[in-house]
Structure 1
Amino acid sequence: MKKFLLLFCAFVLLTLQSCGLYSFTGADTGEANTFQVNFFQNQSDLVEPGIDLAFTTSLQDLIQNQTSLSLVNNNGDLIFEGEIIDYYISPMSATAQNTAAQNRLTIAVNVRYYNTLEPEKDFEQRFSFYYDYPAQTQLTTILETALDEIYTRLTQDIFNAALADW
């Protein structure tokens, strides 16, 4: 039994040493130790108060929860910045009476990502996502749920574009 345990430990040690540790999030932070997320100002035509701060915080939280990087205010190894460029509501389907049966809330952000240690990974990209809801429902009653879902998807897409090594 001792021999089996010794062989098993040697196998595990060799496997971890040769392949490196695996990240379940798929995040490839390289040699980076820190990140910063600059404030995403709302520059959309329709301004919903507070979505800029809430989105910025959501992105910070996701990166902190899925990596071992430390959040800093400046001089981060990885830098995320940009702006909210669209926030709008549009009808998605009509009824026989020519009124909307369903509406869609869409948010789009423009993101600039800088990797100060590996500049070839830098990018600027537009990300957007939406939330559909019945037209009879007032947006104010579902806004928190809608924003949570949109932020979750947007931040995950940004994280994957910047740090996922699939």
Structure 2
Amino acid sequence: MKKIYSLFAFLSLFMLSGCGVYNFTGASTIDAKTFQVNFFHNNADLVEPGIDRDFTLALQDLIMNQTNLNLVSNGGELVYEGEIVDYRITPMTATADQQAAQNRLTIRVMVRFTNKKKETDDFEKTFEFYYDFPGTSLPTGSVLNEAIKTIFERITQDIFNESLAKW
């Protein structure tokens, strides 16, 4: 009976030791302790004031919430930088009287990621997402806020997945 308890205790310890390295986000920070997100300037032809600051903060918040990395203003081991390169509103469908029935807001962001711990992870890539809204609505106020929030959630998660989660 004592052998069974010993075997059970050994197996339990072995199984629990594997749980220590599990990460729910799947993020691999390669021993990095710090990250920095440089300001993403808005270089789009159509400029919506404030989205550059909002995007920069959204990316910082996502990385802080999904990793144990510390945000620094310079000298980060993982560096995110880039610019908003496109902000456009396009009619997607039309009514019989040539009015827009649905519009699409699209935002595209160019990102340069530098990993000072593992240079093979470095990339320069464009991320883009969109939000559709009724043609009768103007892209202002709550419609614009919801659109930008939805787009930034998707783009920042895609950047996180490409740089740290490797999904």
TM-score (norm 1): 0.92
Residue 113 of structure 2: aligned partner: 113
SS in 1 for 2:23: coil
Distance change (3 Å), C-alpha of 1:3 and 1:63: farther
* 1:71 matches 2:63: no
Give RMSD over aligned pairs.
2.1
In structure 2, the residue matched to 1:125 is 125
User: Which residue in the other structure is 2:33 paired with?
Assistant: 33
Q: Separation in 1 of the partners of 2:75 and 2:58?
A: 20
In the alignment, what sits opposite 1:159? 160
Q: How does 1:73-112 map to 2 (within 5 A)?
A: 73-112=73-112
Question: Which residue in the other structure is 1:145 paired with?
Answer: 146
Q: Residue by residue, what CA displacement relative to the aligned partner does 1:68-119 show, whole Å, maximum 9, x if unpaired?
A: 0000011111000000000010000011111110000000000000000100
The whole-number CA distance in structure 1 between the counterparts of 2:98 and 2:121 is 48
Structure 2 unaligned regions, length at least 5: none
* 1:47-66 correspondence to structure 2 within 5 Å: 47-66=47-66
Report the identity percentage. Answer: 57
- Name the CA distance, whole Å, in 2 between partners of 1:134 and 1:5: 66
For the structure 1 residues 124 and 4, does the alpha-carbon distance in structure 2 shift closer, same or farther, using more than 3 Å as the test?
Answer: farther
Deviation per CA, 1:15-36: give whole Å up to 9, x if none.
Answer: 3545751111111111101000
What is the number of equivalent residue pairs in this alignment? 166
- Runs (5+) with no aligned partner, structure 1: none
Q: What is the alpha-carbon distance in structure 1 between the residues aligned to residue 15 and residue 30 of structure 2? A: 20
* Match of residue 22 from structure 1: 22
Deviation at 1:139, TM superposition (A): 1.0
Distance 1:4 1:97 in 2: 80
Q: Distance in 2 between matches of 1:143 and 1:135?
A: 13
Task: Give the secondary-structure state (helix, strand or coil) at the position aligned to 1:139.
Answer: coil
Note closer, same or farther for the CA distance 1:38–1:6 as it changes in structure 2 (3 Å cut).
farther
- Over 3 Å counting, the alpha-carbon distance change for 1:13 and 1:104 in structure 2 is same
Q: Distance in 2 between the 1:127 and 1:10 partners? A: 48
Give the superposition deviation at 1:8.
Answer: 5.5
- Tell me by how many angstroms 1:14 deviates: 2.3
